[in-house]
Structure formats: C-alpha cells, structure tokens
Amino acid sequence: MKTLNLDLGAKSYPIYIGRGLLMQADYLRKHISGKQVMIVSNTTVAPLYLQKVLGLLDGFAVQNVILPDGEEFKTLNTVEQIFTALLEAKFDRTCTLIALGGGVVGDMAGFAAASYQRGVNFIQIPTTLLAQVDSSVGGKTGVNHPLGKNMIGAFYQPKCVLIDVDSLDTLDARQYSAGMAEVIKYGLLGNSDLLAYLQKNMPDLMARDKEMIVKIVHQSCVDKAKIVAQDELESGKRALLNFGHTFGHALENTLGYGEYLHGEAVAVGMLMAAKLSAAEGFIDDEQVSQVEDLLQKSNLPTTINSKIGQQDFMNAMSVDKKAINGEIRLILLKKLGQAFISSKYKVQNLELIIKDFL
C-alpha cells in the first residue's frame, strides 16, 4: 500500500493506493468525523461494491443513494436527487458523503457535498481507472450544462481518497482504456519517465498486471498532486492537466454523451493537440506518430468517425473554461513530456487540424 499526501495547507489529505483496501476498515473510518454517512454510487458499481463498503461502516448511520450510470446523467437534476436523499434522511452538516464509483459519481457527490448545507465532509472511493488517476484527486467537482461540460461546480477537497486497484477487476475493457488515456496524459504533459514506461509496458498494462497498475496509478496521483498543490484553483499551471481536454470537451459537447467516453474524447484531443504542436514546429511528425501509436496500443480512438460541422466544433471549443475573452487557450507540447499553455498558435493551423479530423 502506498500513501501520498496532497499538500493544501489546512485542506491537505491523504491518497491511499493499493490492493484489497476495500477489505480494511481503518483507512476509511478514521476520516469520518460524524455519525451519518451517505454513500453515493450508481446502478453499475453499487451491486459490485456497496456491500463491501457497508461492511467497513459498522456503527455509523449509513444510507445510500444509487444514481443512473452515465455521463448524460451528470446534471443538476441528478445532484438534486442526492440533496433529497440527504434531507429525507434528515442528515445534518456533520454528515459525510462517500463517492463510490467513477468520475461521474465522484463529480456529482463532490458537488453535492460542497453544496449541501453549504459544505459537508466528503470522501472519494474511485472504482474506475479514470477516477483513480484523475478525477478523484484535486477537488474538482461539478456537473454538465446542456451548453457546456463541467460548467457548474466547485473546488471542494475530500478528506481522503481510497484507491483499491482490485476494483478494476470488474471494469470493462473500454472504460479501462479510457482511464489509460489520462495516464498517458501525465506522461505527455510532464513526465517522460512515465511516458517511456508506458511505451515499453502497455501490452502488460492492457493485460492488467496489478503491480504495474499500482505503479502507474501512484505515479499519476503523484504528478497530479504536485500540480494541484501549486495551483489549487487553476489560475495558472493546473491548466496543463487539461492537455487534450479542450478538443475532447468540444467533441463530447458536439456529439452528445455516449458516442465517446470522456477518456476516449481526450485521447483524440491529445492527438489533435500533438498535431497542432507539430504544425507549430515544437515536435516532429515522428513524435506525433509515437503519440498515435501509444494511444492505439491502449485501444483508444485516434480519429473522429462522426459528422461534425467545423464551426460547431470551434464554437464548442470557445466555451471551454480555459477560454478568456473568447480567445481559445490550448495546451501544446514543447516536446514529448513537456506541455505549456498557449494562445499564440496560428488559428489557421488549428482550423486545418480540425478540418483534417472532421
């Protein structure tokens, strides 16, 4: 078991990473301060792990709310279901919300915890690779709006993150690959050692070698924790973590949810960002091919097969949260393993690459 600390002063918290953590009550229990616990999960994850987590919570007043599964349900309306469950149970501001599931569950449970009675305790138990390496760490919570992804939310930090990689046993192959996209992201944006490790070991990782998984999950969390600790509210450096995401969000927004998983959209987005980085002269075509190759070895998409209008795609990019006064800021690669924020690229290059993909 590995423990790492996300250093945010009074809001610091531990991230526990290992195998069999859902069999050990202590890590979870010591971060619950009140008596009332609401487990937020979904229809896919609850049948698999709810009983296990309940087994760790003997002596607490535990309730649960089971949400429908899918990004299309990540809305204010679904969060309202959590509020209703909390109020029906008469839970007060000493209660603790536990997110048990993937990124969608974590984002909504976190926003509910941030907003219920203006803020209650919150714990993350991510069960998908994507949530374990990315969304459960760093305190971004929120929901989608019909006009934009993750447009409504809060920065709200959990009391701890409990990552049991054994929960990946039940994750389907497509979801697993989608999570791997975010691991690749850490390699590309700032960690060339991790990138080299992924390039060398992707076949074994795809075969779900557990020791290797612990290693890459831990390294991803270390990288993310380091950046978040420097810039919790994303006024600067944290935007690097959105490498591939402005393109990816535009893809998700224009196609609607369901066509691509978030990680899949990010995979395509990272390749688009790599190609723009090449067009801008920062990396060469061989390096773009390396990115493409790694994504393909992870069974991730590298093309857009659906019809999207170019103007629709550009519009969707311009409402991204990184946009400032209508100008689309993008994360580009200076080299493989080093990203930077730019609004100085040639718009013509951006348009050519979008056209090429659509």
Residues marked as catalytic: 118, 140, 182, 224, 234, 238, 242, 245, 249, 262
Indicate the residue among 59 and 326 with the shorter CB distance to a second copy: 326
Minimum CB distance to a second copy, residue 157 (Å):
12
Minimum CB distance to a second copy, residue 241 (Å):
14
Amino acid identity of residue 77, one-letter, is N
Q: What is the largest CA-CA distance in the chain?
A: 62
Minimum CB distance to a second copy, residue 218 (Å):
27
H or E element: which one contains 256? none
Indicate the residue among 39 and 143 with the shorter CB distance to a second copy: 143
Residues that bind a second copy (CB under 8 A): 34-36, 76, 80, 83-84, 87-88, 90, 92-94, 114-119, 140, 142, 145-148, 151-155, 233-234, 318-319, 321, 323-326
Indicate the residue among 44 and 135 with the shorter CB distance to a second copy: 135
d(CA 302, CA 322): 23
H or E element: which one contains 36? strand 36-42
Minimum CB distance to a second copy, residue 107 (Å):
11
Give the three-class secondary structure for 295. helix
> Are the CB atoms for 129 and 220 separated by under 8 Å?
no
Phi-psi category of 9—alpha, beta or left, where left has phi over 0 and alpha has psi -120 to 50? Answer: left
In this structure, the strands spanning 36-42 and 61-67 are: parallel
Indicate the residue among 95 and 266 with the shorter CB distance to a second copy: 95
Amino acid identity of residue 316, one-letter, is A
d(CA 159, CA 91): 18
CA proximity to 329, closest of 306, 350, 358: 350
Indicate the residue among 23 and 87 with the shorter CB distance to a second copy: 87
d(CA 52, CA 333): 42
Minimum CB distance to a second copy, residue 88 (Å):
7
